[in-house]
Amino acid sequence: MLSLLFRGWAVALANAEALPESGSELPPLELGWMLFQTLLVLAGVVLLAYILLSWGGKRLLKLRDGGGQRSISIVERVSVDARKSLLLVKVAKDYFLLSNGEKDLTILSKLNTEEVEQVLSSNNKPSGEPGLFLKKLLDRKATKEKEES
């Protein structure tokens, strides 16, 4: 890609050396060829920037985050209204319930680690098993069918 550009410059320089030095100007280069070279180099720069940002960006984020091992993570977030939410945050091995408002963040309570992990593991059921809401809905349907028969 850059070799094409350098070759074009080399041709222009060779033409310039062949001209007499009596104040003659360089012959005009074709505008289409120069435009093509410019767009080709621009495409190469954009491609190089994309590759560097996608490949190098991930590595920089890992460095910034401490190698991907975080000691603080948001386990779950539930919106209470448009500007307020409840957060379940894990700090090291402890769990905290936080209230996130428009301008403030408040620790509501420290939670029992065993109970939280038990609830989280029970929520991560295999996808073939229906969720709690679906179970209740199916139970209601079964109850109505029994009443009708």
Confidence tier at 43 by pLDDT (50, 70, 90) = very high
Distance between start and end Cα atoms, the chain: 79
Q: Is the dihedral of CA 37, 38, 41, 42 positive or negative?
A: negative
pTM over 0.75: no
In one letter, which amino acid is 58?
Answer: K
Helix H or strand E encompassing 22: none
Q: What percent of the chain has pLDDT over 70?
A: 62
Residues 41-79, buried b or exposed e (16+ Cβ, 10 A)? Answer: eeeeeeeeeeeeeeeeeeeeeeeeeeeeeeeeeeeeeee
- pLDDT tens string 96-119: 989 888 889 899 889 888 888 888
- pLDDT tens string 61-102: 766 655 556 788 888 888 888 888 888 899 988 999 898 888
